[in-house]
Amino acid sequence: MPDSESMKSRHILPNYRIAVVGSGAVGCYYGGKLAQYGRDVHFLMRSDLEHVRKRGLKILSKQGDFHLQKVNAYATTEEIGPVDLVLIAMKATANEALDTLIPPLLKADGSTMLMTLQNGLGNEEYLAERFGAENVLGGLCFVCLNRIEPGVIHHIGHGKIEMGEYSGLPLPRTWEIQGDFKRCGVVCSVSPDLGLAHWRKLVWNVPFNGLAIAAGGIDVGQILADEDLLYLTRGLMHEVIAIAKKLGHEIPVSFAEKNIENTKPMGAYLPSSVIDYLEGREVEIEPIWGEPLRIGFNAGAEVGRLEMLYHLIRRLVVRRQRDED
């Protein structure tokens, strides 16, 4: 690992500008932590803009509540201008908006880093195709958050970010960002293999987000308490692990059981996709189930369970949207 003091002088820190694009629970929480520690954070906001400009941002957390009185909140990325690091925390279903939101944030020297904090597969690829793979990073968030009212985020638990370079092994900048996030109280690790990290996260997300929606909107405790859904949870986890293996990502089979054990203390936790589903918001179907299904199918893996789950969820969400229209 490089010496962090020398990196600091050679690299982006300490005065780097950060933009947060998509200021929902994830964007506000992590951007808020960085701003709390004096980092130069600029939030692109939509519905909460006026509220946050007037009253700031509140994070309620067992680790300590905090209130940012003055927040740099903007309606457009043109007002923010070029930055060193963009944290992308929009719903992945709205990725098309990035085509116009990102360019005003890019520095002329091409050094702006784009770190997607979004769920599932396909987001790094989306950015890489449009803005160049070399500046894309992924940050996998293991965190339970809820936006409970405008400008107020409830941090329920966890909070780790597992970050990595889209195009390969970690670079000095990767460690540098990790170090700075840690100084701001964000638990954070660097992954040498972002693809593997994504598939490990999917081992949990595919069954728990998926079955909770397919069963009509239930919590993880209800999944664990139902012998049929618990059986399907294991089947889906093993299927995801086998797809990952086909792609060259080794995940031990015991990781499934470990995930189930780790879920027990969560109790009646509702995964974010389930809340989106229940509250009539868009659900990130493609990144969490569609992309893994297509990638697994193309790799020649067994994908029957994932196929059933994807289409049952897709039907429920499509039908709900049709009912609303």
Catalytic amino acids?
Answer: 201
Q: 60 or 312: whose CB is closer to its own copies?
A: 312
**How many other CB atoms sit within 10 Å of the CB of residue 286?**
19
The CB-of-94 to its own copies minimum distance in angstroms stands at: 22
Q: Which two tokens mark 140?
A: 């996998």
Q: Which two tokens mark 290?
A: 């569609």
Query: How many residues bind to its own copies according to rule CB under 8 A?
Result: 22
Beta partners for 163? 139, 190
Q: 186 or 301: whose CB is closer to its own copies?
A: 301
DSSP line for 21-81: ES-SHHHHHHHHHHHHTT-EEEEE-STTHHHHHHH-EEEEETT--EEESS--EES-HHHH-
Select from 94-102, 137-145, 192-200, 309-317 the region that touches its own copies (CB under 8 A). 309-317
Q: Which of 77, 315, 321, 325 binds its own copies (CB under 8 A)?
A: 315
309 makes contact with its own copies (CB under 8 A): yes
Q: 46 or 315: whose CB is closer to its own copies?
A: 315
Q: Which of 3, 318, 320, 321 binds its own copies (CB under 8 A)?
A: 318
The CB-of-93 to its own copies minimum distance in angstroms stands at: 17
* Dihedral sign for Cα atoms in the order 170, 171, 177, 180: positive
Q: Which two tokens mark 131?
A: 């803005």
Q: How far is CA 32 from CA 146, 165, 185, 304, 311, in A?
A: 14, 23, 11, 41, 37
Dist CA 34 CA 179 (whole Å)? 12
215 makes contact with its own copies (CB under 8 A): yes
- Give the contact letters, 216-245, x = binds to its own copies (CB under 8 A), - = no: ----------x-xx-xx--x---x------
Q: 125 or 302: whose CB is closer to its own copies?
A: 302
Residues in contact with its own copies by CB under 8 A are 214-215, 226, 228-229, 231-232, 235, 239, 302-309, 311-312, 314-315, 318
